[in-house]
C-alpha cells in the first residue's frame, strides 16, 4: 500500500497541474508580512516549466525547470514538490525556487527569486486540476 501511495505521489509531479488561488502574501526575508493581494492566481506546473500569474496583472512569472524534488506521502494532501527554475525578472535571468507544499490538505506555493532576495511570495491554493 505504501509503495502504491508513493508511486501516486511521484506521478503527480510528472503531470501538468493547474493550481488556483485567491490570495497572495508578500513577505520580507525574515518572513514578516509586507503586503497582501486578494486576486485570482493561476499557477501551471509541468516537468519542464512553471508559470504564475495574477488575474489583474498581464505579466506572468515563467520559469524553466532545472530540477525538482517530489515527496508526497498522500497526493495533494501531505507532501511537497520543490522546483528549481530559471526565471526572467525585469530583463534579468535569475534562479528561483517554487515550493508547493500541502499539510492536511491545505496547499501553499512559496516563491523565492534570487534577484529579489529581500522578498518572498506565499500563495494560498484553493483548488487544482490535473491534466488528463
Domain boundaries, the chain: 2-130
Phi, psi of 31, deg, nearest 5: 100, 5
- Fold assignment, 2-130: Lipocalin (2.40.128)
pLDDT band at 13 (very low <50, low <70, confident <90, very high): confident
The reported pTM is 0.88
SS3 at position 104: coil
| pLDDT at residue 1 tops 80 | no
What does the pLDDT look like over 52-82, one tens digit per residue? 999 998 889 999 999 999 999 999 999 999 9
Contacts of 88 (CB under 8 A, 6+ apart): 62, 94
* Rounded distance between C-alpha atoms, residue 39 and residue 68, angstroms: 28
* Rounded distance between C-alpha atoms, residue 72 and residue 8, angstroms: 8
Amino acid at each position: 500500500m505504501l509503495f502504491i501511495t508513493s508511486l501516486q505521489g511521484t506521478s503527480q509531479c510528472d503531470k501538468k497541474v493547474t493550481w488556483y488561488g485567491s490570495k497572495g502574501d508578500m513577505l520580507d526575508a525574515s518572513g514578516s508580512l509586507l503586503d497582501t493581494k486578494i486576486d485570482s492566481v493561476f499557477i501551471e506546473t509541468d516537468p519542464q516549466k512553471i508559470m504564475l500569474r495574477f488575474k489583474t496583472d498581464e505579466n506572468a512569472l515563467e520559469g524553466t525547470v532545472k530540477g525538482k524534488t517530489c515527496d508526497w506521502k498522500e497526493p495533494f494532501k501531505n507532501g511537497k514538490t520543490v522546483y528549481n527554475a530559471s526565471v526572467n525578472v525585469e530583463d534579468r535571468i535569475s534562479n528561483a525556487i517554487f515550493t508547493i507544499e500541502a499539510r492536511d490538505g491545505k496547499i501553499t506555493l512559496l516563491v523565492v527569486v534570487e534577484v529579489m532576495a529581500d522578498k518572498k511570495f506565499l500563495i494560498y491554493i484553493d483548488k487544482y486540476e490535473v491534466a488528463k
